[in-house]
Amino acid sequence: MKHYITEINPNGTIAVDDTILVKEYETTAGSKILEGFVPLFSAEAVERLINAGYEISGKTNVGEFGLDLLGEFSNSGAVCDGEYLVGAAADLIAKGEIKGALSVDLNGAPRRAAAISGIDFIKPTYGTVSRYGVIPCACSGEQIGVSASNADGLKELLSVIAGHDDKDGTSLPAEKYEYSLDENVSGMKIAVIRELYDKASDGVRAGIDSFKEKLTAVGAQVEEITFSLVEAAQTAWQIALAAETCNNVSRYEGVKFGYRTPNYKNIDELYVNSRTEGMNFLSKAAILYGSDVLSKGRYNYCYDKTLKIRRVVHDAVKAVFSEYDAILAPACGETAYVPYDIKDAFSRVFAESIFTAVPNLTGIPALVTNGVQLMADVYRESVLLSIAKSAEGRE
Amino acid sequence: MNKDKLDGLQQLNELCLTEDEQTVMLDIFDRMKVFEDRMQQIDTENVEVMVHVMPMVNVLREDRREQPFTRESLLEGAPEHTEDSWQVPRLVR
């Protein structure tokens, strides 16, 4: 069990997940297939942090390509606190060893990790932070986010890394974003999604109830709503994620970089054995499922339908935000997770993604604090940061 | 999904699952089919597909010649390489 796949500077205060490039330091995305890969450039977000005077402590352990729950299927092994799984970067922040971290949120892993470890994490609006230098997996919905011990830390780091980048074709035009912790939470209307609340365990529901009380105490109005599209969003994001993963990881074949099998007699065996030995079963399952939903006979039924569902969910979310300032929901179904067999991973991760899929599918920002998840309309990170700030220190 | 189709997908994706993994994979396809079918119940007639969640504009600029990386530095990351090329097994006999 190790928190860092690559250690860089023992005095560094910011960790960078191993799905994000740091120049001249091995970057594997938690996968054997990228063993030995040393990038020639750093991710734009990393460059901005370094230019602002931050020092990088190291590359933190992640599950292969960030696809699992909490990094449990990293090629370097899971990180546990006692018998329970924790996210590597989140655990380091919770223990006070670092100030913050950069992570890629493609299926909710950093949000889950923040909830489990009791720290804060924000996945900002899609396109506001450059994805240049992220090892790509699910490009249409993955986003670099930041972790810290509190809302001030999130604001500080997000302010440094957000803004337009010419090198990312999906980067939005604003050069800079101004984030605030001071929006008036009193009078805000917050919606709790009943379908997600009902699916969570008793422990998670107790956390939501407690946070509702904090919101009410600062004058916010909390109401329960129904949002019947959560399962469709979950399925649609799983299909999009698998399809995009299938395409993005097709580049790993043991020739240009990373792992090459010693077991081959010809080029076909080199490709098949390098990929088969280099990737775990969860990645293989995502690739095979993604390849199937993109196939001629299934494209319209699955992939095309998914892209239409994305618009339906997007419009429904907009309708919620026309009435409410934010949504309150569980970040995950349980308060703790123990290691499990990788053969169950695809189903386990899919089941958990019901809590995290909507922000990935629709690009809206999501923030985890006090073990719960808040979502807001695009560009409204300040609403989320202000709610998180207002809840701090309230028992 | 069946064993033959799964074999085809493995071949297409240059992957080889164990017998045990193939059984699990077929079960995954069956489970996902339930959710795919349920997703069809949502009316999407006259709904346009949404590829990008945020408005995207086509960014154009003049072509310019750059060489950000040298051949040597790119080859350095390869598992096996010669002085100026990636090395692979013999392709033509």
- For residue A97, what are the domain limits? 4-231+307-391
The answer to whether residue A76 sits within a structural domain is yes
Q: What is the pLDDT of residue B92?
A: 75
CA distances A77 to A64, A114, A279, Å, are 10, 19, 14
- Which of 205-264 (A) contact B at CB < 8 A? 229, 231-232, 234-236, 238-239, 246, 250, 253-260, 264
B73 contact A CB<8A: yes
Query: Does residue A135 surpass a pLDDT of 90?
Result: yes
By residue count, chain A amounts to 395
The answer to whether residue A141 sits within a structural domain is yes
The answer to whether residue A84 sits within a structural domain is yes
Total domains present in chain A? 1
CB count within 10 Å of CB A264 equals: 17
As a 3-state breakdown, chain B gives helix, strand, coil percent values, each rounded to 5, of 40, 0, 55
Q: What is the pLDDT of residues B45-78, one digit of tens each?
A: 999 999 989 888 777 889 999 888 999 999 988 9
> Which residues of chain A neighbour B29 with C-beta distances below 8 Å?
289, 292
Mean pLDDT of A35-42: 95
Q: Do A314 and B50 touch (CB under 8 A)?
A: yes
* Beta bridge mates, A179: none
The answer to whether residue A295 sits within a structural domain is no
Closest chain B residue to A309, measured at CA: B44
Q: What is the pLDDT of residue A394?
A: 65
By residue count, chain B amounts to 93
Closest chain B residue to A360, measured at CA: B53
CA distance linking residue A127 with residue A132, whole number of Å? 11
The answer to whether residue A44 sits within a structural domain is yes
The answer to whether residue A323 sits within a structural domain is yes
CB count within 10 Å of CB A184 equals: 11
Mutation pick from A132, A166, A235 vs chain B, by most beta carbons of B within 10 Å, is A235
The answer to whether residue A184 sits within a structural domain is yes
Terminal-residue alpha carbon distance, chain B: 38
Query: Does residue A263 surpass a pLDDT of 90?
Result: yes
CA distance linking residue A248 with residue A256, whole number of Å? 15
Residue A201: CATH number of its domain: 3.90.1300.10
Q: Do B14 and A235 touch (CB under 8 A)?
A: no
Q: What is the pLDDT of residues A333-353, one digit of tens each?
A: 999 999 999 999 999 999 999
Query: Does residue A134 surpass a pLDDT of 90?
Result: yes
Work out how many CB contacts closer than 8 A connect A with B: 154
The answer to whether residue A301 sits within a structural domain is no
In 3-state terms, what secondary structure has residue A388?
Answer: helix
CA distances B43 to A195, A320, B11, Å, are 20, 19, 35
Q: Do A235 and B35 touch (CB under 8 A)?
A: yes
